Amino acid sequence: MKTKVNEIIIRTRRRLFGPNIGNNISAFQGNGIDFAELKEYTYGEDVRKINWKVTAREQKPYINVFNEERELNIVVGFLMGGSIYFGSRRQKQEVMAEILALLGFSALKNSDRVTNIFYDTDVVRWFKPTKSMNTIHAALEYALDTEVLGRRSDLQGFADFLLRSIRQRSIVILLGDFYEEADLSYLGARHELYAVTVRDPFEENPAFWGETELMDPETMARFSLEASGATRAAWRKWLKAHDEKFALHCTKHRIRHTKIYTDEDPFLKLRELMK
């Protein structure tokens, strides 16, 4: 597993810290969250805060002022359930770990603090806010090495926990396969919330026939299933409706969301999400 950690570190750092700036993910913009007012620019102020639309209209430079100038607090929530121990190309757990690394290194590049919280039905591990590269490495190793089989994930419980525990307004990114239903509206109202669904293509379009022995990755119970065409069609219909309901919930409450498959490059999807 150490080799896999090194591979992800090399790949993510090359993407984020390489010489080709145009390919870099810019996940987190600026050092203020709550806009306060516009004011005329004075010599010596940060030109990156210039509001170009107002400047063009008024024919003199104006800058954006925020209520509080501070470094951003980035919280990455890693939902650990047995179902992420699956993948026809790469395991979902590995892809989620790579996303965690991309977000962590991106935060460090912007000199922001990043917190990593691992949760199943309760807190499994909490990496406190940090700007340390070593802590990002440790969180990545934990994401890859921790046994998830036999764990049950609780998305609603995680959302409620974050609502209670994260006091400072933050950018919160939830990682999981999101098979549970949950109300994320309160968490999204308090924080800038992103939901990143990680799935394997085989889950959404299973290709097996006849009597098949399966195992529930959360309870470890084994059972047999007659995988007929009707059974697969019913599963696809249920999952499509479930995902559409989740996407509608996110859109309604201004929660940015995306889905990343295990055969896709997570860097490209994250860059699009964070624009």
What is the model's pTM?
Answer: 0.79
Name the β-bridge partners of 75: 115, 172
The two tokens of residue 262 are 């295990």
Supply φ then ψ for residue 145, to 5 degrees.
-90, -25
- 62 DSSP β-pair partners: 40
Mean pLDDT of 118-138: 94
Q: What is the pLDDT of residue 15?
A: 67
Domain boundaries, the chain: 2-15+70-273, 35-66
Question: Measuring CA to CA, how many Å separate 159 from each of 88, 134, 143, 213, 252?
Answer: 29, 27, 19, 34, 17
- Mean of the per-residue pLDDT values of the chain: 86
Q: What three-state secondary structure class fits 223?
A: strand
Express as a percent the part of the chain with pLDDT over 70.
Answer: 88
| Contact assessment for residue 175 and residue 194, using Cβ atoms and an 8 Å cutoff | no
pLDDT at 92: 97
Residue 130: helix, strand or coil by DSSP?
Answer: strand
The CA dihedral of 91, 94, 100, 105, to the nearest 10 degrees, is -140
User: Domain spanning 2-15+70-273 has what CATH number?
Assistant: 3.40.50.410
- The residue ranges of DSSP E strands in the chain, in sequence order, are 35-40, 62-66, 73-79, 113-119, 123-130, 171-176, 192-199, 210-215, 222-227, 256-261
For the stretch 236-240, contacts whose Cβ atoms lie closer than 8 Å and that sit 24 or more positions apart, written own/partner, are 236/204, 236/205, 239/203, 239/204
Cβ-contact 144, 160 below 8 angstroms = no
pLDDT, tens digit (0-9, with 9 covering 90-100), for 129-182: 998 889 999 999 999 999 999 999 999 999 999 999 998 889 999 999 999 999
Mind listing the pLDDT tens digit for each residue in 71-113? 778 999 999 999 999 999 899 999 999 999 999 988 888 888 9
